Amino acid sequence: MSKPKQKKQSRHQQSEKPRGRRRFLIGLTVVVVVGIVAAVTLLRGANAGFEKLNGRWLRLDGGYVLDIRAVDPSGKIDAIYLNPNPINIAKAEATRDGSKLNVFVEFRAPNYPGSTYTLTYDPQQDQLKGIYFQAVQQQRFNVNFVRMK
Protein backbone atom coordinates (compact mmCIF):
# COMPACT_ATOMS: atom_id res chain seq x y z
CA MET A 1 0.00 0.00 0.00
CA SER A 2 1.46 3.28 -0.99
CA LYS A 3 1.14 6.53 0.86
CA PRO A 4 -1.35 9.00 -0.53
CA LYS A 5 0.32 11.81 -2.27
CA GLN A 6 0.16 15.11 -0.50
CA LYS A 7 -0.66 18.11 -2.57
CA LYS A 8 2.03 20.67 -2.74
CA GLN A 9 0.92 24.05 -1.49
CA SER A 10 1.24 26.88 -3.87
CA ARG A 11 3.31 29.90 -2.88
CA HIS A 12 0.08 31.81 -2.36
CA GLN A 13 -1.21 29.22 0.13
CA GLN A 14 2.15 29.05 1.94
CA SER A 15 2.25 32.82 2.46
CA GLU A 16 -1.30 32.94 3.86
CA LYS A 17 -0.29 31.16 7.09
CA PRO A 18 2.34 33.70 8.16
CA ARG A 19 0.02 36.57 7.21
CA GLY A 20 -2.82 35.09 9.26
CA ARG A 21 -0.50 34.56 12.21
CA ARG A 22 0.83 38.10 11.88
CA ARG A 23 -2.71 39.52 11.80
CA PHE A 24 -3.64 37.50 14.87
CA LEU A 25 -0.57 38.72 16.78
CA ILE A 26 -1.23 42.35 15.81
CA GLY A 27 -4.88 42.02 16.87
CA LEU A 28 -3.87 40.40 20.15
CA THR A 29 -1.34 43.16 20.81
CA VAL A 30 -3.95 45.84 20.18
CA VAL A 31 -6.40 44.14 22.58
CA VAL A 32 -3.73 43.86 25.31
CA VAL A 33 -2.64 47.49 24.93
CA VAL A 34 -6.25 48.73 25.02
CA GLY A 35 -6.87 46.59 28.12
CA ILE A 36 -3.82 48.00 29.92
CA VAL A 37 -4.79 51.58 29.06
CA ALA A 38 -8.35 50.95 30.30
CA ALA A 39 -7.09 49.40 33.56
CA VAL A 40 -4.72 52.30 34.24
CA THR A 41 -7.49 54.79 33.50
CA LEU A 42 -9.87 53.01 35.88
CA LEU A 43 -7.25 52.82 38.63
CA ARG A 44 -6.43 56.50 38.28
CA GLY A 45 -10.13 57.32 38.32
CA ALA A 46 -10.63 55.26 41.47
CA ASN A 47 -7.97 57.25 43.27
CA ALA A 48 -8.60 60.58 41.62
CA GLY A 49 -10.11 63.25 43.77
CA PHE A 50 -7.98 62.72 46.87
CA GLU A 51 -6.30 66.04 46.05
CA LYS A 52 -9.54 67.75 47.15
CA LEU A 53 -8.59 66.78 50.71
CA ASN A 54 -5.31 68.70 50.65
CA GLY A 55 -5.25 71.87 52.74
CA ARG A 56 -5.52 73.24 56.24
CA TRP A 57 -8.78 72.30 57.95
CA LEU A 58 -10.02 74.16 61.04
CA ARG A 59 -12.33 72.58 63.60
CA LEU A 60 -14.45 75.56 64.59
CA ASP A 61 -15.48 74.33 68.03
CA GLY A 62 -11.94 74.24 69.36
CA GLY A 63 -9.48 75.82 66.99
CA TYR A 64 -7.84 72.48 66.17
CA VAL A 65 -6.13 72.28 62.77
CA LEU A 66 -5.77 69.22 60.56
CA ASP A 67 -3.17 70.07 57.91
CA ILE A 68 -3.39 67.55 55.06
CA ARG A 69 -0.25 68.09 53.02
CA ALA A 70 -0.63 65.27 50.52
CA VAL A 71 -2.56 62.09 49.80
CA ASP A 72 -0.87 59.43 47.70
CA PRO A 73 -2.83 57.27 45.21
CA SER A 74 -3.11 54.43 47.77
CA GLY A 75 -4.80 56.84 50.20
CA LYS A 76 -1.94 57.34 52.64
CA ILE A 77 -2.17 60.86 54.06
CA ASP A 78 0.78 63.06 54.99
CA ALA A 79 -0.68 65.32 57.68
CA ILE A 80 -0.05 67.13 60.95
CA TYR A 81 -2.55 67.91 63.67
CA LEU A 82 -2.29 71.01 65.84
CA ASN A 83 -3.99 71.56 69.19
CA PRO A 84 -2.33 74.20 69.10
CA ASN A 85 0.91 72.20 69.38
CA PRO A 86 1.48 69.15 67.15
CA ILE A 87 -0.08 65.86 68.27
CA ASN A 88 1.43 62.65 66.93
CA ILE A 89 -0.61 61.01 64.17
CA ALA A 90 -0.18 57.22 64.16
CA LYS A 91 -2.26 56.63 61.05
CA ALA A 92 -3.97 58.82 58.47
CA GLU A 93 -5.66 57.49 55.37
CA ALA A 94 -8.20 58.44 52.74
CA THR A 95 -10.64 56.00 51.20
CA ARG A 96 -13.32 56.18 48.58
CA ASP A 97 -16.80 54.74 49.07
CA GLY A 98 -18.53 55.26 45.73
CA SER A 99 -18.45 59.00 45.22
CA LYS A 100 -17.68 59.76 48.89
CA LEU A 101 -14.20 60.61 50.12
CA ASN A 102 -13.48 59.51 53.67
CA VAL A 103 -10.66 60.45 56.04
CA PHE A 104 -9.51 58.43 59.04
CA VAL A 105 -6.95 59.80 61.51
CA GLU A 106 -5.66 58.00 64.59
CA PHE A 107 -3.51 59.60 67.30
CA ARG A 108 -0.74 58.15 69.47
CA ALA A 109 0.11 60.80 72.03
CA PRO A 110 -0.31 61.42 75.76
CA ASN A 111 -3.97 62.20 76.54
CA TYR A 112 -4.94 61.02 73.01
CA PRO A 113 -3.88 57.35 72.69
CA GLY A 114 -6.25 55.70 70.23
CA SER A 115 -8.39 58.79 69.69
CA THR A 116 -9.67 59.03 66.11
CA TYR A 117 -11.40 61.16 63.55
CA THR A 118 -13.70 59.44 61.06
CA LEU A 119 -14.65 62.10 58.51
CA THR A 120 -16.40 62.44 55.17
CA TYR A 121 -15.70 65.20 52.67
CA ASP A 122 -18.76 67.32 51.80
CA PRO A 123 -17.95 68.87 48.40
CA GLN A 124 -20.97 71.19 48.41
CA GLN A 125 -19.89 72.90 51.63
CA ASP A 126 -16.17 72.11 51.23
CA GLN A 127 -16.07 70.65 54.74
CA LEU A 128 -14.92 67.52 56.50
CA LYS A 129 -17.73 66.18 58.70
CA GLY A 130 -17.87 63.25 61.04
CA ILE A 131 -17.06 61.83 64.44
CA TYR A 132 -14.23 62.49 66.87
CA PHE A 133 -13.74 59.54 69.22
CA GLN A 134 -11.99 60.60 72.44
CA ALA A 135 -10.51 57.27 73.55
CA VAL A 136 -9.54 58.23 77.13
CA GLN A 137 -13.07 59.37 77.95
CA GLN A 138 -14.71 56.83 75.59
CA GLN A 139 -16.87 59.60 74.11
CA ARG A 140 -17.91 60.49 70.58
CA PHE A 141 -18.46 64.02 69.30
CA ASN A 142 -19.90 65.28 66.00
CA VAL A 143 -17.34 67.57 64.38
CA ASN A 144 -16.97 69.78 61.30
CA PHE A 145 -13.77 71.07 59.78
CA VAL A 146 -13.81 74.02 57.39
CA ARG A 147 -11.06 74.74 54.90
CA MET A 148 -8.82 77.61 55.96
CA LYS A 149 -8.29 80.18 53.20
**pLDDT per position as a tens digit, 73-102:** 899 999 999 998 999 999 999 999 988 999
pTM of the model: 0.68
CB 92 within 8 A of CB 104: yes
- What percent of the chain has pLDDT above 90? 58
Topology of domain 50-147, CATH: Lipocalin (2.40.128)
Cβ neighbours of residue 114 under 8 Å, at least 6 residues apart? 106, 107, 108, 135
Strands across the sheet containing 89-97: 86-87, 77-82, 64-71, 55-59, 139-147, 127-134, 116-122, 100-107, 89-97
Residue 4 pLDDT level (bands cut at 50, 70, 90): low
The pLDDT score that the predictor gives to residue 8 is: 60
The pLDDT score that the predictor gives to residue 63 is: 87
Q: Could you give the angle at the alpha carbon of 141 between the alpha carbons of 137 and 144, nearest 5°? A: 140
Backbone φ and ψ of 23, nearest 5°: -60, -40
48-71 per-position pLDDT tens digit: 579 999 999 999 898 899 999 999
pLDDT surpassing 80 at residue 14 = no
